[in-house]
């Protein structure tokens, strides 16, 4: 599976790339939403793992624009802001899975599996 990870925090990015790569996925990471949209415009991915709060455009805006490019794109949202408002917006936006920081490698793996099933 091709996965694009979008997160501006180096430790989170490194964890995601390492774990998802070990699970056999083809994984690429970028640190900004604008970069993610450029990658998505150049070719499809099976899953987008995107942070909610980043410099520039936020995760929900990335998802909205990404789905304009790839309507059936599966998405997992990463957030350190597990508020009711964020969770509600994620559910309303058709997000397939949510990871609340900090998360474990097992939580990452199980959320990814559930999101693509």
Contact 89, 63 (CB under 8 A): no
pLDDT for residue 117: 85
pLDDT for residue 88: 81
pLDDT for residue 92: 81
Closest CA to 97 of 80, 81, 114: 114
Closest CA to 37 of 15, 13, 70: 70
pLDDT for residue 93: 82
Q: How far apart are CA 80 and CA 100, in angstroms?
A: 6
- What 3-state class would DSSP assign to 13? helix
pLDDT for residue 89: 81
The answer as to whether 20 is a domain residue is yes
CA–centroid distance for 107 within its chain: 14
The answer as to whether 26 is a domain residue is yes
The answer as to whether 107 is a domain residue is no
List the chain residues with pLDDT less than 50. none
The answer as to whether 114 is a domain residue is no
The answer as to whether 38 is a domain residue is yes
pLDDT for residue 81: 77
Domain limits for position 72: 2-100
The answer as to whether 115 is a domain residue is no
pLDDT for residue 87: 81
What are the distances in angstroms from CA 100 to CA 9, 17, 34, 83? 14, 17, 23, 10
For residue 72, what are its two tokens? 């059936």
Q: pTM for this structure?
A: 0.94
């Amino acid at each position: 599976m091709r996965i694009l990870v979008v997160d501006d925090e180096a430790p989170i990015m490194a964890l995601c790339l390492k774990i998802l790569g070990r699970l056999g996925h083809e994984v690429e990471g970028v640190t900004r939403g604008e970069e993610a949209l450029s990658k998505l415009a150049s070719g499809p991915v099976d899953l987008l793992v995107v942070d909610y709060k980043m410099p520039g455009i936020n995760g929900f805006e990335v998802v909205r624009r990404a789905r304009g490019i790839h309507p059936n794109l599966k998405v997992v949202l990463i957030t350190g802001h597990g508020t009711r408002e964020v969770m509600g917006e994620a559910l309303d936006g058709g997000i397939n899975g949510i990871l609340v920081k900090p998360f474990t490698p097992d939580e990452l793996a199980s959320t990814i599996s559930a999101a693509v099933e």
